[in-house]
């Protein structure tokens, strides 16, 4: 039986990556840095999960000769850049620049009405999640989800399965009773690492990823119903 649906956020519930890229570039400009992440570069950087981790990875690429004794200087700089980026992203989302991907809202509403549990398993920050879903689903958005696991609760980023394992534990469900929804190879690896069958809806940034092992790869969730999910879940079982 299918009892729960577990959703990633960035790229899955909404196509957020371009807004994130623009927010990073705005942060670099505010900080007086000459960094600029264009689309091809950001596509590569998305292989690194987590905004802070992405910044640190790029820092090390650009400044391999800089020795940071104790590590606090780099950490402080990365933290400041991430604060600026988060504020820029919130402003974009709050301004109505983003909406849920096609079919997402209809599926969430149908699943909730059908009595399925809904969960979020993401390694993005709670602030980013709240900014997006408050604008898309309204101020009571949290009531739709039985469990929300994010960067504040799951220290290990995807592709590590920690966030999914914690979500399953809090839902009180076995992986065989749930489906995961992702948009990237890292997300698929994390979900499968927790034993979850996974439906993939790629974005322009992740279309070239390897999705071997996915339950389904769809252009979007538009037209996808709970009956479809139950049928696919049954096939897998």
Which residue numbers are catalytic? 8, 10
Half-sphere exposure of 152 (CA within 13 A, CB side): 8
C-beta separation of 223 from 106 below 8 A: no
Give the C-alpha separation, 117 to 210, whole Å: 29
What are the DSSP calls for 197-211, one per residue? EEEE---TTTTTS--
Residue 179: its H or E element: strand 178-182
Give the C-alpha separation, 228 to 184, whole Å: 21
C-beta separation of 220 from 13 below 8 A: no
Question: What is the number of other CB atoms lying within 10 angstroms of the CB of residue 41?
Answer: 13
C-beta separation of 101 from 200 below 8 A: no
């Amino acid at each position: 039986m299918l009892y729960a649906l577990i959703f990633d956020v960035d790229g899955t519930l909404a196509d957020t990556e371009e807004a994130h890229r623009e927010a990073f570039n705005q942060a670099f400009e505010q900080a007086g840095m000459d960094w600029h992440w264009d689309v091809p570069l950001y596509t590569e950087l998305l292989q690194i999960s987590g905004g802070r981790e992405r910044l640190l990875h790029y820092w090390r690429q650009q400044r391999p000769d800089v020795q940071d004794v104790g590590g606090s200087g780099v950490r402080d700089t990365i933290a400041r850049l991430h604060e600026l980026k988060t504020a820029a992203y919130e402003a974009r989302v709050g301004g109505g620049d983003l909406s849920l991907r096609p079919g997402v809202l209809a599926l969430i509403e149908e699943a909730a009405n059908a009595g399925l549990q809904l969960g979020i398993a993401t390694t993005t920050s709670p602030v980013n999640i709240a900014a997006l879903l408050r604008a898309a689903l309204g101020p009571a958005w949290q009531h739709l989800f039985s469990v929300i696991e994010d960067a504040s609760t799951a220290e290990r980023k995807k592709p590590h399965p920690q966030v999914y394992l914690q979500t399953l534990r809090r839902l009180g469900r076995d992986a065989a009773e749930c489906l995961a929804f992702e948009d990237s190879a890292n997300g698929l690896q994390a979900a499968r690492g927790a034993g979850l069958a996974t439906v993939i809806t790629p974005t322009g940034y992740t279309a070239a990823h390897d999705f071997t092992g996915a339950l389904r790869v769809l252009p979007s969730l538009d037209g996808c119903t709970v009956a479809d999910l139950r049928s696919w879940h049954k096939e897998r079982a």
